[in-house]
Amino acid sequence: MVSSTRFRNIIILIIIIFLCLAVITISFRGSGITESIKAKTMDIFQPVQEKMFSFFNPVTQFFSSIGGYIGLRQKYLELEKENAVLRQKYVEDTSIRVENDSLRKMLGLEVRQDHDVLVVKVIGYYSNDWQSEVIINAGTSGGVQEGMGVVGSSGLAGLVVSAGNRSARVRLISDPQSSLGVRVLSSRKLGLIEGSQEGDIYLRYISRDDGIYRGDIVVTSEFGQYLPADILVGRVKSIEDVPGDPYREIRIEPFEDLKRLEYLAVIRN
């Protein structure tokens, strides 16, 4: 009796192992079947997930804010300084923008439009060494498609990687699989931002000759299929020259706090 139970359990395990290896292989090859099953599964669980997320949200916000208290005073002083500079720039930039729009009209060029955005709520978060994603409560029925950019109140959060009918998965810019074309605002040099397992975001392909400084701002480039240009991404946090490497090792601090995402906006145009 015991040996037959043992034998049965081993057979079950072997079957499960083969089944899982087959599923992993199909998923790794990026099959459409896996993606559609994922989308349908997300849709089934979306209502429950949304309710549970709202229920636990006060507690998760409390725990997230505990970490934020460290270094708060230093951050406050830095922000005060930055605010003063930005207020000055805002006044100058407003008049430039008005002039720009009227010149565009005169030349028959399209005036800059505000983006068509859909405000969504985060209903789940999944992060480990190999991925960093959130789940939002809108999908294809709301006009959300794969590849669309997702922004928070301060800057870019990520890109939609999978969209079901009523929910979608957003890969954050800190995800190790994330890779996005950007521009350095001061020098207009093109680069690529990539996430990492540690959660840091790196700006790649900026050579030693390219002008870049700590505090420089990075924005999205114009080469994204769905992602508009000049969306704020982050600020240069550190620059290091690696011996033997023609490119610098640059860390970016994202403007958007990726650990405290609650409401986001999907850019639909």
Provide the minimum distance between the beta carbon of 36 and another protein in the complex, in angstroms, as a whole number.
11
Nearer to another protein, 124 or 158 (CB): 124
3 state SS of 53? helix
Nearer to another protein, 34 or 100 (CB): 34
Nearer to another protein, 13 or 96 (CB): 13
The H-or-E segment that residue 263 falls in is strand 263-267
Provide the minimum distance between the beta carbon of 261 and another protein in the complex, in angstroms, as a whole number.
10
Query: Where does residue 269 rank: exposed (0-12), middle (13-18), buried (19+ CB within 10 A)?
Result: exposed
Nearer to another protein, 210 or 262 (CB): 262
- 165, 139 Cβ separation under 8 angstroms: yes
DSSP class of 207: B
Provide the minimum distance between the beta carbon of 242 and another protein in the complex, in angstroms, as a whole number.
17
- Closest-CA residue to 160 (of 106, 216, 120): 120
Provide the minimum distance between the beta carbon of 129 and another protein in the complex, in angstroms, as a whole number.
5
Helix 2-28 / helix 32-68 crossing angle, nearest 10 deg: 90
Residue ranges in contact with another protein by CB under 8 A: 5-6, 8-9, 12-13, 16-17, 19-24, 26-28, 34, 37-38, 41-42, 45, 48-49, 52-53, 55-56, 59-60, 63-64, 123-131, 133, 135, 169, 176-177, 197-199, 259
Show Cβ contacts of residue 253 under 8 Å, excluding neighbours closer than 6 positions. Answer: 201, 234, 235, 236, 237
CA distance 77 to 15: 60
Provide the minimum distance between the beta carbon of 198 and another protein in the complex, in angstroms, as a whole number.
7
Provide the minimum distance between the beta carbon of 233 and another protein in the complex, in angstroms, as a whole number.
22
Q: What sign for the dihedral angle of Cα 225, 227, 228, 234?
A: negative
Nearer to another protein, 16 or 77 (CB): 16
The pair of structure tokens assigned to 47 is 């209502």
Nearer to another protein, 51 or 89 (CB): 51
